[in-house]
Amino acid sequence: MQELQTVEKVILKENTKMFQFKENCRRFIRSNPIGTISIGFILLVILISVLAPIIAPYDPVLQNRQSILIGPNGTHILGTDELGRDVFSRIVYGSRISLLVGFSAVVFSMIFGIFFGVVSGYFGGVIDMIVQRIMDAIMSIPSLILALFIAALLGPAIQNVIIALVIVETPRFARIVRGEMLRIRETNYVEASRSIGSSVFRIIWKHAIPNMGAPIIVLASLAFGQSIIAEASLSFLGIGTPPPNPSWGLMLSDASRFMETAPWLVLFPGLALALCVLAFNLLGDALRDFLDPKISSKK
Amino acid sequence: MLILILFVLAACESGSNEPASKSESSNKTGEEGTPKEGGTLSFYDFDDPKTLDPHKSIASATNSRIGLVYNKLVTFATGPDNFSSDEIVPDLAKDWEISEDGKTYTFHLRDDVKWQNIAPVNGRAFTSEDVIATMERIKNLPGPQANSLVSVESIEAPDDYTVIFNLSEPYAPLLNQLASFVMWILPKEATEGKVDLDNTAIGTGPFILESWKRGVEASFKKNPDYFEEGKPYLDGVTIYPNGDSMTEVNAFRTGQTDVILTDSKIDFETLKKSVPDAQIQSEIVTASRLFINQTRKPLDNILVRQAMSKAIDREGAWKSIYGNGEYNGYVMPTLEDWALPLDERKEYQEYDPEGAKELLAEAGFPDGFEVSMIVTDGYGPQLVTLAEWVAEDLKEIGIKVNIEVLEYGTFFSERWPSKEYDIGIGLVTPVTDPSDSLDPFFKSDGYRNWQGVNDPKLDEMIKQQYLIVDRDERIKYINEIERYLFENVTNHVNLFAYHIHHFKQPYVKGFDPHSNYGYLFMKNVWLDK
């Protein structure tokens, strides 16, 4: 009997959560058409990157040496580059690298950021001082320059780009999480939980983190876009993704030489990059408006 | 494309230099009208060097800055058809004698040469003391340039304007090396440490180094006391350190620079279209190669290296990346008389992926293996494209290549010399004596043997060729060494030689490049405007 009750409870909980989620989605779509389009576009990019082998007509590193620097046509819908590689296939596969870098950088910097932010905000005092001054130090250096420095130090490889971006992005998460933590620490429910003897870990895990979701999601969305553009910048400068991998930044860097003779080489990867980053930024804005009623009402 | 081919052919023809007589080379301005004085020539060159000290760096960048300031005892003839000439002409020495046995060289110096009027030298006369002091410095400083003087036992100066080199054994390339860019003659004061050679230069040459701002420009002004009557014609020269290729192309297009040098097919086409009246001169100057670290397995196996060589579609690569090219040998075709005939070079390096696979199977790797490849973008983006091309060719026979693009300093000063690589793509420096392209790279103790070549028989052959003073005999022997390298060493693997294009504004006259660094011809340049 007891068991059945528990199961029922769980189902009920699931249902309400599901219901809530659906209700939220409906509200979001209604109030944020631009955000909805952004989500649609991002889902499309994710779909493309997952299905890359099916969508791309050619191997992205295959050199079709009979057709070098050919403009968009029937066989190569976006043309070929200086080694005869199919630009469309490279853009399709390039989305994998962009999303991989963006996703890894955001997830890891989120994990580290939450850890440092929570520790710093909950315990305060000397720990807070030390952690926050380190974060200040990292944030005082312009992020792209710092990423440049770290990536150049580690050598050109995708994982090194991710490491560099995680180091750059972590303080931003840590800063926001700390602020939230300071607020939550003083709330009545945390006070109540503490007074019945909950452990620190339980308070943080059960009460603090679930309640700071909104700002983290907004920041993650913005950081995703920034990470994609940072990867492209580093690859453009030759210290990101090594060739012949089809990174958008690398494609742009190669293409810059052919701007006058083969403009399609710079146009299409540039467009892909711009749209992708724009989508993430617009989504970030939309989420912020949606999750923070104070800001949206001001508008 | 047709135009390009014709153009390449024409360029090849102009490369076949007949030794021009001295009077011709110094008086070649006749066909271009009477030289006008004045004006400043400006152009982009290699990146700024670490030092201007000629004996500390063999970097092209150092020599391109100081070549205008210094002179050598002897130099190479320059002129319209003399790009790779190895003909020696007087510079600070007005003439010279070589003894019968090839062991004594006597140089008679010009007596009308003055140092540039800068403290602490203050325009005093140039004498044999300066030559001796410079040669001592070269011998005593560590570095590749000391190699050239290894067989020189002593140098004496019986009077102010005579210098005698005494050799322990005949050394065929001595004159050639004295004419080459490491042998700039410094004032005695500089060798005593009274001049900051890293940052300044005081010489006897046609131009005075007015200022050198790192990363900005090196500017030179006319030396009024230069010993050749009426020269130089220019009032000054400005050299900018290299920017990215778009910047350089645009600067030339808008007339901000007077000369531009490029090896890129795409820049070539852009420039030809946008500056139709520019003078174009294309010369085979440089070549690329695949160097292999044979201290690592399985690259120590010659069959593997030969398979790599056969796997590369050289003709395809040069056509699509550079738009021109030529099969290269271990002695570059710039040294026309010394290089192997083209047919033979081609035979050794024919594209044969099937044969490559067989060789690889014979070596015990029928399924191939994986290697990493280092390359730098410091020479421009073409080399990275070439690396991608070669990687694809090697993949075709089963060798998977992971490309690592390094910053120039790391590439050239760390990873390559310390043999921290499997294979790599680099360039070949043009030289004026064939021994310079053999000794440093392939002798087991060669100063640029960064591939781990270790072949006692080859060492002996390289030593032998120095002793052959007769030119024709030596050419034959050098050819033999080259064949031996192709058949028994195959490291590095030559890729191909290709053109560098000089574009000159229509009013630039007398700008006739020579493959030896240092703008030896700058005193003859004038502007017709």
- List helix spans (H) across chain A: 2-31, 33-50, 52-55, 87-123, 125-140, 143-154, 158-185, 188-195, 200-202, 213-236, 248-255, 264-291, 293-298
Select from B273, B320, B421 the residue whose CB has the most chain A CBs within 10 Å, as the one to mutate to test that interface: B320
The yes-or-no verdict on residue A295 having pLDDT over 90 is no
Angle between helices A158-185 and A87-123 (to 10 degrees): 30
Tell if the CB–CB gap between B405 and A242 is shorter than 8 Å: yes
Q: Is A114 helix (H, G, I), strand (E, B) or coil?
A: helix
Q: Which chain B residue has its CA at the smallest distance from A260's CA?
A: B270
- Test the B interface: residue of A59, A65, A239 with most B CBs within 10 Å: A65
| Best residue of B392, B396, B425 to probe chain A, by most A CBs closer than 10 Å | B392
Among A83, A152, A244, whose Cβ lies nearest the Cβ of B403? A244
* CATH (domain of B383): 3.10.105.10
Substitution target in A61, A66, A68, A83 with the highest count of B β-carbons within 10 Å is A83
Cβ atoms of residues A37 and A43 within 8 Å? no
- CA-CA distances (angstroms) from residue B432 to B38, B87, B177, B436? 32, 10, 8, 8
- Predicted pLDDT of residue B19: 35
Residue B191, domain member (yes or no): no
B249 to chain A: nearest residue by CA? A257
User: Which residues of chain B from 249 to 278 reach within 8 Å of chain A, CB to CB?
Assistant: 264, 266-267, 269-270
Q: Distance between CA atoms of B434 and B180, rounded to whole angstroms?
A: 13
Work out the angle between the directed axes of helices B302-311 and B382-396 (0-180°, nearest 10): 110
Q: Does B189 touch chain A (CB under 8 A)?
A: no
ipTM of the predicted assembly exceeds 0.90: no
Cβ contact, residue pair B405, A156, below 8 Å? yes
Cα separation, A222 vs A286, in Å, equals 11
CATH architecture for residues A82-298: Orthogonal Bundle (1.10)
Q: A210 CB contacts (<8 Å, ≥6 apart)?
A: none
Nearest CA of chain A to the CA of B378: how many Å? Answer: 10
Instruction: Identify all chain A residues contacting B377, using CB atoms and an 8 Å cutoff.
Output: 238
B527 vs chain A: nearest CA distance in angstroms?
A: 31
Give, in order, the Cα–Cα distances in Å from A132 to each of A120, A149, A203, A216, A250.
7, 22, 22, 18, 35
Residue contact B385–A259, C-beta within 8 A: no
Q: What angle do CA B485, B490, B492 make, to 5 degrees?
A: 105
Give pLDDT tens digits for A116-129.
Answer: 999 999 888 899 99
Q: Which residue has the tokens 């890359």?
A: A52
Binary contact (A257, B269; C-beta < 8 A): no
Please, which pLDDT band fits residue A12 given cuts at 50, 70 and 90? Answer: low
A257 → closest Cβ in B313, B381, B392:
B381
Torsion over CA: B445, B449, B452, B455 (sign):
negative
- Does any domain span residue B210? no
* Token pair belonging to B11: 């360029």
Closest Cβ opposite residue A258 in set B266, B316, B405: B266
Give the model confidence (pLDDT) of B329-382 as tens digits. Answer: 999 888 888 899 999 999 999 999 999 999 999 999 999 999 999 998 877 788
Closest residue in A to B377 (Cα) is: A238
Element (H, E) at B283: strand B279-292
Q: How far is B449 from chain A (nearest CA, A)?
A: 25
CA-nearest residue to A253 within chain B is B381
Whether residue B295 lies inside any domain: the answer is: yes
Q: Is B2 helix (H, G, I), strand (E, B) or coil?
A: helix
Is B346 among the domain residues? yes
Question: Which contiguous run of DSSP H or E holds residue B279?
Answer: strand B279-292
B320–A238: do the CB atoms touch at under 8 Å? Answer: no
Q: Which amino acid would we find at residue A58? A: Y
Residues B270, A152: C-beta atoms closer than 8 Å: no
Give the pLDDT confidence of A16-50 residue by residue, as tens digits: 777 888 888 888 888 888 889 999 999 999 999 99
* Distance from the Cα of residue B479 to its chain's centroid: 21
For residue B388, which residues of chain A lie inside 8 Å, CB to CB? 63, 83, 243-244
Tens-digit pLDDT profile for chain B (529 aa)?
Answer: 334 343 333 333 333 333 333 333 333 344 567 888 889 999 998 777 778 888 877 777 788 889 999 999 999 988 887 787 788 899 999 999 998 888 899 999 999 999 999 888 888 999 999 999 999 888 888 766 677 788 888 899 999 999 999 998 888 888 888 888 888 999 998 888 888 888 899 999 999 999 998 888 899 999 999 998 888 999 999 999 876 777 888 899 998 999 998 888 888 888 888 888 889 888 877 899 999 999 998 999 999 999 999 999 999 999 888 888 999 999 988 888 889 999 999 999 999 999 999 999 999 999 999 999 999 887 778 889 999 999 999 999 999 999 988 877 788 878 898 999 999 999 887 777 888 889 889 998 888 899 999 999 999 999 898 888 888 999 999 999 999 999 999 998 999 999 888 999 999 998 888 888 888 899 999 998 8
Across the interface, which of B264, B270, B389 has its CB nearest the CB of A83?
B389
Number of domains present in the structure of chain B:
1
Contact A83 B405 (CB under 8 A): no
CB A87 within 8 A of CB A264: yes
Domain boundaries, chain A: 82-298
Residue B411 lies in a domain: yes
Among B245, B321, B403, select the one facing A243 at the smallest CB separation.
B403
DSSP B527: E
- Both tokens of B37, joined, read 């004085």
CB contact (8 A) between residue A65 and residue B320: yes
In this structure, which long-range contacts are made by residues B174-177, counting pairs with CB atoms below 8 Å and at least 24 apart in sequence? B174/B105, B174/B148, B175/B74, B175/B88, B175/B96, B175/B98, B175/B105, B176/B86, B176/B88, B176/B432, B176/B433, B177/B148, B177/B433, B177/B436
B413 touches chain A (CB under 8 A): no
Query: Taking CB atoms and an 8 Å limit, are B385 and A254 in contact across chains?
Result: yes
Residues of A with a Cβ under 8 Å from any B Cβ are: 61, 63, 65, 68, 82-84, 152, 155-156, 238-239, 242-244, 253-254, 256-261
Give the mutation candidate from A257, A259, A260, A266 for the B interface (greatest B CB count, under 10 A). Answer: A257
Domain that includes residue B441, residue range = 287-498
Of B245, B392, B406, the CB nearest to A257: B245
Q: How many CB atoms lie within 10 A of CB A235?
A: 29
